[in-house]
Structure 1
């Protein structure tokens, strides 16, 4: 063939170990060999040597983008699962609270320093699971009375459809301790960052999860065809004993999906050193300010738009984004406080977020959240889990809290839980969980569906260099971060301060910031507003659309969206 003629060759690849395949593809930049030729000459030892040189010494992290690995993560809490999947470059699926009975899942029990805390915790969790069934069955009765079975509709299908809607309400009582399972497929670079982030968590369960992920990547992988291969080897041994061992080695060789790329992963020193600085900077800036409620016309979603002609808009947004995940305040409330600072002080806050950055540390996620359409979202944890799955955006999450109260699952077009016989039981269980959380943490609970105004406090008790604002700017002083003060008569138990978070039901409100481009705003609004979806995120999707329509009215026509307040057929899913 003439060198000037071109005949493109395309072929799929199967069976190569992830790291070996990554090395072979990386060789395209350093060798004229085809991928077939590269794979034929590469051994796992050769791949490890290459990766040790170019990945760890030279920082060529794009090589790890080429190694994709699959994991099953089973029997972890919902709380841990939310943290696990909090990656922008993540693909996977988790058990659905809509289609599976989580009463059978069991739950995670954290370690308490005070032995008296454990039976109290178990009592609260067991009550929530009992209530999950009670509310589900109670609302099924209400729904059947509201929407009688049409002629010609099968009884089983009728009950199954309405039971799904009933448990859409009952799931609000599932605690964050509830066990779930999920599968994920990520590239090795994402896995490395994920493991480092998990290892630095405040929660022992999540730190242990990071260690297990690292061990699973470095250790022998489960072989899908192991049983069939064993049978085949035994058959060969019976016929040709002398070649049975060769067949065994070929078919059942040990595969380690990422033994090199993740083996040195440790908690991020950058994150560890930066977090207390930003926590205290937020506390110093906002002091004991009350949480300002969300706008009355959009109680769950607020679109953030800088004032026209504002100077330092990007700097203000960067500083605000850095502080946001370490508070319970609205983004706009933090932003207003930052905007009132001098240019020097705004710059010092940004410096806090970067001063410990190492040679290969990426910029914190907050630096990707300062441009685009930004939605400050306050919603129940259950609905947030569905919104959290959107990857083409930057998300900043705030810590779990009872400060924002909880949601009532009163959905349009169907019987309201607040008007049902099981309403008293629902509120009793929420208040019981919130009371336990308040007693265990010493932070007063907001066991209502309305927003209150708690005091802000940092979370670490260790002595660290803390920022203090004064007329000359930010000065660093060694001290212990401020601690929460209790306004309750209940004496708090001595326990892991984060252990009590596992009792929080999915009805608990949480706050997060979603930053995206216009295309993603349209996509989320259209996808999440369909009648088959859960009311919680349908409502948020509608408010996202409404906020964009107010700010940019000429763009509203490009949304193909369904108003979630319009009547729907309860027997159609």
Structure 2
């Protein structure tokens, strides 16, 4: 009797495998509504009952946290780098993408937007960028081999692989945003719903199509990694006992739809679309034709401004190409009434179930306005414990030239002129297509821009995240682009809070690194 009593009072922990995502979400949600154990709940729940429950509590009552309990893995293959950045721009996102450091993207192909009669010009520009990518990669690899002899203890294949990665670090600056990539993501159904809705509201046709494919993938039968083995097993069982084989087939080969209920109503987000339109117009009216002022790579914004000024500046920031500091100067000069009007624009079109725009997440202690190449930004973009406000891609900020301490420069490798010519040509095509007058020309032209193009983004975070990013991204194994940004973040914090500088375990990015170590 005492053994039974002990079992009833001991904590029980077990992992769960084999339940459909929506069924599992329903079973977990029942913890708040039933005394049943997870095993008992799953034993009595069917997909139909889960759908009925979710329709009532998720859609009618708005209990959105239920969808946090259904996690779905996706493979997203052959999408452009531009679309990949749009896809992963979620606060709650987990995934991995192909690395431009360890893979040759020459054979990846590219996405071609609908540019009508201008398509041949686009194609020629992309082919030219890839040809330059090949030549710069080969030229830098040759320079690296001349500068860094292979140690006797290092295998030739390891030596070649390591230096190729270093060469790709330089060549990737020439990859256009049209370049195809692939990624995997594991997201909960609530994140998927907001992701699909946001992507359906995109200005890019490719991204809108991607949203439809995500929604379809969640509502159609998922690919079963064990299907081949299960089919063989079912056939073997059926050859002995047909009825038993059929039961095995029903259990092992049944189609599983990962989130047919939770994403079926995901649609275009009118709140996001209308707010974007009105805030872009407000930013243009506020700044007029004022030129973009020079700004540092990393600008740590002081935190003595009123909350209302931060909110208004943050709302306008993603819809222009000005630095936060320059934009804030104009916002701070506005009357209280006009300031209130700008903030109201950000909530004016908000629907019943819409979360406030990301820009309303104000009050973070550390705000870094960062201007860096798109390639390096993609790496920084992976940090989810901070709030990020992204500006659009443009030629207005120019492009970066790759410089790594201890590595041959473009000039030393005799590829500087070719690099600049390729970047200038890509920018010229971008401007030509942008001004061509075809539908969505301003959006489609951006696919021509190389990863070396400078882009601006605001990163808001607490001290712990600032320290984490600075430490992680300054490491000697990192790409020299974001190492420089991490170093500048550290210096900015150390200058403002010198008593905290000793807490950083930082790597000085100005010290040459061993290029044969990764």
The answer to whether the aligner puts 1:409 opposite 2:402 as a matched pair is yes
What SS does structure 1 have at the residue aligned with 2:184?
Answer: strand
How do 1:358-377 and structure 2 match up within 5 A?
358-377=351-370
Taking the aligned partners of 1:164 and 1:39, their CA distance within structure 2 comes to 48
Aligned to 2:60: 57
How do 1:441-456 and structure 2 match up within 5 A?
441-442=434-435
How far the C-alpha of 1:120 sits from its partner, in A, is 1.0
Q: Deviations over 1:379-401 (max 9, x none)?
A: 00000000001110100000110
Aligned to 1:553: 498
The answer to whether the aligner puts 1:31 opposite 2:41 as a matched pair is no
Aligned to 2:167: 166
Aligned to 1:449: none
Taking the aligned partners of 1:561 and 1:6, their CA distance within structure 2 comes to 49
Taking the aligned partners of 1:103 and 1:61, their CA distance within structure 2 comes to 43
Aligned to 1:479: none
Aligned to 2:92: 89
Aligned to 1:391: 384
Taking the aligned partners of 2:439 and 2:324, their CA distance within structure 1 comes to 31
Taking the aligned partners of 1:4 and 1:224, their CA distance within structure 2 comes to 37
How do 1:48-447 and structure 2 match up within 5 A?
48-113=51-116, 115=117, 117-294=118-295, 299-307=296-304, 310=305, 313-442=306-435
Q: Deviations over 1:51-91 (max 9, x none)?
A: 11110011100000000000000000000000000001000
Unpaired segments of 5 or more residues in structure 2? none
Against the structure 1 CA distance between its residues 518 and 144, is the aligned structure 2 distance closer, same or farther, given a 3 Å change threshold? same
Taking the aligned partners of 1:68 and 1:20, their CA distance within structure 2 comes to 11
Taking the aligned partners of 1:370 and 1:209, their CA distance within structure 2 comes to 34
Taking the aligned partners of 1:541 and 1:191, their CA distance within structure 2 comes to 31
Taking the aligned partners of 2:125 and 2:352, their CA distance within structure 1 comes to 47
Q: Which of 6, 13, 30 is equivalent to 1:10?
A: 13
Q: Which of 511, 515, 524 is equivalent to 2:460?
A: 515
How far the C-alpha of 1:532 sits from its partner, in A, is 0.8
- Tell me, yes or no, if the aligned pair for 1:411 and 1:535 is still in contact at 8 Å: yes
Taking the aligned partners of 1:64 and 1:102, their CA distance within structure 2 comes to 36
Unpaired segments of 5 or more residues in structure 1? 443-491
Aligned to 1:494: 438
Taking the aligned partners of 2:143 and 2:95, their CA distance within structure 1 comes to 36
Taking the aligned partners of 1:568 and 1:528, their CA distance within structure 2 comes to 14
- Tell me, yes or no, if the aligned pair for 1:408 and 1:418 is still in contact at 8 Å: no
Taking the aligned partners of 1:369 and 1:227, their CA distance within structure 2 comes to 51
Q: Which of 526, 539, 542 is equivalent to 2:484?
A: 539
TM-score between both structures, scaled by the size of structure 1: 0.88
- Tell me, yes or no, if the aligned pair for 2:303 and 2:365 is still in contact at 8 Å: no
User: In the comparison of the two structures, how many residue pairs are matched?
Assistant: 514
How far the C-alpha of 1:495 sits from its partner, in A, is 4.3
How far the C-alpha of 1:301 sits from its partner, in A, is 0.4
Against the structure 1 CA distance between its residues 392 and 530, is the aligned structure 2 distance closer, same or farther, given a 3 Å change threshold? same
Moved more, 233-242 or 372-381: 233-242
Taking the aligned partners of 2:243 and 2:259, their CA distance within structure 1 comes to 33
Taking the aligned partners of 1:93 and 1:215, their CA distance within structure 2 comes to 21
What SS does structure 2 have at the residue aligned with 1:181?
Answer: strand
What SS does structure 1 have at the residue aligned with 2:293?
Answer: coil
How far the C-alpha of 1:95 sits from its partner, in A, is 0.4
Against the structure 1 CA distance between its residues 5 and 68, is the aligned structure 2 distance closer, same or farther, given a 3 Å change threshold? closer
How far the C-alpha of 1:147 sits from its partner, in A, is 1.6
Taking the aligned partners of 1:267 and 1:495, their CA distance within structure 2 comes to 20
Taking the aligned partners of 2:190 and 2:76, their CA distance within structure 1 comes to 18
Taking the aligned partners of 2:337 and 2:347, their CA distance within structure 1 comes to 16
Taking the aligned partners of 2:284 and 2:202, their CA distance within structure 1 comes to 21
Against the structure 1 CA distance between its residues 239 and 196, is the aligned structure 2 distance closer, same or farther, given a 3 Å change threshold? same
- Tell me, yes or no, if the aligned pair for 2:104 and 2:168 is still in contact at 8 Å: no
How far the C-alpha of 1:152 sits from its partner, in A, is 3.3
How far the C-alpha of 1:22 sits from its partner, in A, is 0.4
- Tell me, yes or no, if the aligned pair for 2:319 and 2:392 is still in contact at 8 Å: yes
What SS does structure 1 have at the residue aligned with 2:459?
Answer: strand
How far the C-alpha of 1:148 sits from its partner, in A, is 2.0
Q: Deviations over 1:472-517 (max 9, x none)?
A: xxxxxxxxxxxxxxxxxxxx35342211111110000000001111
Against the structure 1 CA distance between its residues 49 and 334, is the aligned structure 2 distance closer, same or farther, given a 3 Å change threshold? same
- Tell me, yes or no, if the aligned pair for 2:74 and 2:186 is still in contact at 8 Å: yes
How far the C-alpha of 1:370 sits from its partner, in A, is 4.0
What SS does structure 2 have at the residue aligned with 1:515?
Answer: strand
What SS does structure 2 have at the residue aligned with 1:32?
Answer: coil
- Tell me, yes or no, if the aligned pair for 2:81 and 2:178 is still in contact at 8 Å: yes
Moved more, 493-502 or 269-278: 493-502
Against the structure 1 CA distance between its residues 257 and 521, is the aligned structure 2 distance closer, same or farther, given a 3 Å change threshold? same
Between Structure 1 and Structure 2, the one with more helix by share is: 2
How far the C-alpha of 1:4 sits from its partner, in A, is 12
